Amino acid sequence: MVFVGNSLFENDVQYGYLELALTTRWPDKEVTFRNIGWTGDNVYGVARSTITNPPTAYELLMEHLTKAQPTVVFIGYGNIEAQEGEAGLPRFVEGLNKLVDKVDQLGAQAVLLSTIPVLSDSIPNRAEYNAMLQRYAGAIAKIATDRGKRYVDLFGPLAAIPDKRTITENGIHLNEAGYYRLATLLEDRLGLPARNEAIQVTVGKASVDASGPVRAATADPKAERIQFTVDERLLPLPKPTDPQAVPEKGNVLTVKGLRKGYYTLHIDKAEVVTASANDWANGVEIRQGSSVEQARDLRHLINKKNELFYFQYRPLNTTYILGFRSYEQGRHVKGLEEQNFIIRWLESQISLTRTPKPRVYQLTLLK
């Protein structure tokens, strides 16, 4: 899978939420990702221009896309082009169609993403610019419909978030919480089933009943200790550093039938959270534990891989290594190529880490 577009994709290199969300969706499939987003870019690759010419900026865009060998391409353009207003719309439509033509030529599927809104009231002429961004989003949607491509509306859902300050750095670019929301929004718009599964356990006098991905639930005679195994379908999506920016709950464990008192949850023998019997009956969000740590490790691997690829395909001294002054430092081309070994090794580690494992939950009365 390939992400191509402007800063909407490039800025996620530091967070990794988009790739993490999609990687964990198919833990049994060998899916790899390349993020070739470029800040300030448009459908003609204008931001990719270098001192070396040829190749032209557009040729570089085509080269980056071809080298990625995509099977699915997420296309995120329009926010830069919308600055040209109504007059720039025909040229944008022409360029986006050409880009979709290229994706078709490569035998890949194109998924077209809408523009995203300006989210801060402090941005001058915000209302007018957002109206134009919606106009461009409508053009993207029409191209998707006319060509039978998947279209993902980001504009409406992001604009509807009540406290927009929590998801943006400057009213224009998303922050960590913004990319968390973008990842979950993309999952939803792609029609993927809900990530979080409710885990419900009911403790009776003679038995323990459970629903959700639970098996082998048992309790001691006084119900002071309940143990069960959870077979998770997917790894969770770890919350951003500021969890208050994402009020929606993740995985929730509900345990009914406990006698009064406080109970501590251990997952794989590690203490996670303590709550009252009443709280457990109403449901407690599980924000820590071995699955969350596994997902964080996976996100770290994804970020390291993407950082390495970023500096491989767009080295800071492109002109001296690949361009017209390569006679000076062209020997470093081999070094860039050898980074593929590390990238592939990181991808093998991602493959090993993305599969969820059975987790043993134990709830014990705190005395």
CB atoms under 10 Å from CB of 116, counted, come to 24
Q: Contact, 57 vs 47, CB < 8 A?
A: yes
Average pLDDT over residues 51-65: 87
* Tens digit of each residue's pLDDT (9 = 90 or more) over 7-19: 999 999 999 999 9
- Asked whether residue 319 carries a pLDDT value surpassing 70, the answer given is no
* 270, two tokens: 């590690």
Low-confidence winner among 85-89, 164-168, 302-306 (lowest mean pLDDT): 164-168
Q: Supply the pLDDT for residue 141.
A: 98
CA distance 145 to 354: 34
- CA nearest neighbour of 248 among 309, 301, 177: 177
pTM of the model: 0.91
Q: Contact, 55 vs 64, CB < 8 A?
A: no
Low-confidence winner among 23-27, 56-60, 214-218, 279-283 (lowest mean pLDDT): 214-218
- Asked whether residue 331 carries a pLDDT value surpassing 80, the answer given is no
Q: Contact, 72 vs 111, CB < 8 A?
A: yes
CA 127 from centroid of its chain's CA atoms: 28
Q: Contact, 37 vs 75, CB < 8 A?
A: no
CA distance 106 to 99: 11
CA distance 267 to 191: 31
CA distance 47 to 6: 9
Q: Supply the pLDDT for residue 323.
A: 64
Q: Contact, 161 vs 171, CB < 8 A?
A: no
CATH 3.10.110.10 fits 2-194, yes or no: no
Average pLDDT over residues 101-122: 94
Q: Contact, 16 vs 303, CB < 8 A?
A: yes
Q: What residue spans define the domains of the chain?
A: 2-194, 198-231+250-367
